[in-house]
């Protein structure tokens, strides 16, 4: 017992003695903080950590990732909006908090266009539509014919209500002219369980999440959502090719507080864009189901505005209407 107490007190003492030293070093140079507004553990979080590593080597400064979760990414985004615009705080975010939320939440506490400054587009990815054993269709045309013949069965699952696959499904539903019912799951994995067992006929989600089961022949990907074919399933046509004018991709971008100086933003933009364009990084991103991009701040800003306009009608038609 005595020995245990001795150890505990020794460790406590060491911690107390070392703490001021550590905070002293921090005072000299604050670490750069990349806020990722969703939980640790997913693909986006892994991306944040990859970028942190790149910034660390390029700037020779400590870079930390903070997972500030809450309210569909609002909490983390708000934290960045409210931080000092000195280049020490960055936001890595998927599309929703900076493109969709202003059309979803009436009382959004920030304006994603005015309160944030775009830094660089990091990567993007597309969606795909897949059918399971409940539908005999082998092509998009056959699926549409089946939906028209069985309108009460035309339900589609997605990884969650209020996310892009949901809204993309709305676009598709409108383009085809069948009233498809949306079934929101908690993540792609659960939607796939029901798709494979035939409980639901159709799933719309990212191509990556569908890929494995498509290759095993348990489900069939019928079309992908980008303007060009997916490198993951080049044999599958796009919606556009088949005559449906619906295009949609999602992406990850880095943003900074609005008043961050331009020279800092440009410097980070170059570092990050150059980093994701290396072969090694491209490969790492592809493993996460992401295509490496990179961009100037202006290009990201343009994309942000374009996409906000693109999704607005789909959001309004989706019935996803939170009050706050």
Partner 1 sequence: MTEIFANLIFGLSIAITPTNIALCLIGALAGTLVGVLPGIGPLATIAMLLPVTFGLPPVGALIMLAGVFYGAMYGGSTTAILVNIPGEAASVVTTLDGFQMAQQGRAGPALAIAAIGSFFAGCVATVLIALLAGPLTQFAFFFGQAEYFALMTLGLVLAIVLANGPVSKSTLMVLAGIVLSMVSADVDTGQSRMTFGKFELSDGFGFIIVAMGVFGVAEIIKNLLKPSARELIAEKVTNLMPTRRDLADAAPAIARGTILGSLLGILPGGGAILSSFASYTLEKKLSKTPERFGKGAIEGVAGPESANNAASQTSFIPLLTLGIPANAVMALMIGAMTLHGITPGPQVATKQPDLFWGLIASMWVGNLMLLVINLPLIGIWVRLLRVPYRLLYPMILMFCCIGVYSLNTSTFEIMLALAFGLFGYWLYKHDFEAAPLLLGFILGPMMEESLRKAMSLARGDVLEILMRPLTGTLLALAAILLVAAILPTVRKQRETVFVE
Among 119, 183, 232, 314, binds partner 1 (CB under 8 A): 183
| DSSP string covering 21-38 | HHHHHHHHSPPEEEEESS
Segment lying near partner 1 (by CB under 8 A), choices 22-30, 185-193, 243-251, 257-265:
185-193
182 touches partner 1 (CB under 8 A): yes
Give the shortest CB-71-to-partner 1 separation in angstroms. 4
Structure tokens at 186: 């908690």
Residue 31 in the binding site for partner 1 (CB under 8 A): no
Query: Do residues 116 and 198 lie in contact, with contact meaning Cβ atoms separated by under 8 Å?
Result: no
187 binds partner 1 (CB under 8 A): yes
Per the CB < 8 A criterion, the answer to whether 139 and 166 are in contact is no
Q: Is 210 exposed, middle or buried (0-12, 13-18, 19+ CB in 10 A)?
A: buried
CB of 118 or CB of 159, closer to partner 1: 159
| The only residue of 59, 70, 247, 266 in contact with partner 1, by rule CB under 8 A | 70
Q: Is 72 in the site for partner 1 (CB under 8 A)?
A: yes
Residue the block writes with tokens 């490198």: 231
- Minimum CB separation of residue 242 from partner 1 in Å reads 27
Q: How far is the CB of 102 from partner 1 (least distance, A)?
A: 14
Among residues 184 and 289, whose Cβ is nearest to partner 1?
A: 184
Separation of alpha carbons 296 and 122, rounded Å: 10
| 1 binds partner 1, rule: CB under 8 A | yes
Q: Nearest CA to 205 among 103, 130, 297? A: 130
Q: CB-wise, 36 or 268, nearer to partner 1? A: 36
**Residue 186 found at the interface with partner 1 (CB under 8 A):** yes
Q: Are 170 and 322 in contact (CB under 8 A)?
A: no
Q: Which of 137, 176, 178, 196 binds partner 1 (CB under 8 A)?
A: 196
- CB nearer partner 1, residue 116 or residue 200: 200
Could you give the CA distance from residue 66 to residue 73 in angstroms, rounded to a whole number? 13
Q: With beta carbons less than 8 A apart as the criterion, state whether 38 and 69 touch.
A: yes
* Gap between the Cα atoms of 255 and 82, Å rounded: 13
323 binds partner 1 (CB under 8 A): yes
Residue 74 within binding range of partner 1, rule CB under 8 A: yes
Task: Please state at what angle helix 188-196 crosses helix 207-215, rounded to 10 degrees.
Answer: 30
Please choose, out of 121-129, 142-150, 196-204, 254-262, the segment that lies near partner 1 by the rule CB under 8 A: 196-204
Residues 99-138 contacting partner 1, CB under 8 A: 104, 109
Provide the minimum distance between the beta carbon of 127 and partner 1 in the complex, in angstroms, as a whole number. 19
How many other CB atoms are found less than 10 A from the CB of residue 69?
A: 15
Contact flag: residue 6 with partner 1 (CB under 8 A): no
Q: What phi and psi values does residue 33 have, to the nearest 5 degrees?
A: -115, 125
Size of the site for partner 1 (CB under 8 A): 42
8 contacts: CB under 8 Å, gap ≥ 6 = none
Q: What is the rounded distance in angstroms from the CA atom of residue 268 to the CA atom of residue 43? A: 22
**Residue ranges that bind partner 1, judged by CB under 8 A:** 1, 39-42, 66, 68-72, 74-75, 104, 109, 152, 155, 160-162, 181-187, 189-190, 192-194, 196-197, 199-200, 319-324
């Amino acid at each position: 017992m005595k020995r245990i107490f001795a150890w505990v007190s020794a460790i406590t003492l060491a911690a107390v003695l070392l703490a001021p030293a550590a905070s002293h070093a921090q005072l000299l140079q604050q670490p750069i903080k990349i806020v990722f507004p969703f939980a640790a553990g997913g693909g986006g979080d892994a991306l944040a950590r990859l970028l942190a590593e790149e910034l660390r080597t390029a700037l020779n400064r400590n870079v930390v990732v903070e997972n500030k979760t809450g309210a569909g990414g609002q909490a983390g985004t708000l934290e960045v909006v409210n931080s000092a615009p000195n280049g020490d705080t960055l936001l890595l975010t998927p599309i929703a908090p900076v493109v969709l939320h202003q059309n979803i939440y009436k009382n959004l506490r920030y304006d994603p266009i005015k309160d944030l400054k775009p830094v660089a587009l990091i990567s993007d990815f597309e969606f795909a539509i897949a059918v399971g054993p409940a539908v005999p269709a082998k092509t998009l045309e056959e699926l549409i014919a089946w939906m028209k013949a069985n309108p009460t069965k035309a339900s589609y699952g997605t990884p969650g209500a209020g996310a892009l696959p949901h809204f993309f499904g709305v676009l598709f539903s409108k383009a085809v002219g069948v009233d498809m019912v949306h079934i929101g799951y908690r993540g792609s994995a659960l939607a796939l369980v029901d798709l494979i067992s035939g409980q639901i006929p159709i799933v719309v989600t990212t191509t990556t999440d569908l890929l494995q089961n498509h290759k095993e022949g348990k489900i069939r990907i019928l079309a992908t959502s980008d303007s060009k074919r997916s490198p993951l399933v080049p044999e599958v046509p796009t919606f556009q090719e088949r005559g449906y004018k619906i295009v949609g991709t999602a992406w990850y971008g880095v943003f900074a507080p609005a008043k961050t100086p331009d020279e800092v933003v440009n410097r980070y933009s170059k570092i990050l864009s150059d980093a994701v364009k290396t072969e090694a990084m491209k490969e790492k991103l592809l493993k996460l189901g992401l295509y490496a991009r990179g961009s100037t701040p202006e290009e990201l800003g343009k994309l942000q505005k374009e996409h906000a306009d693109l999704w607005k009608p789909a959001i309004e038609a989706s019935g996803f209407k939170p009050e706050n």
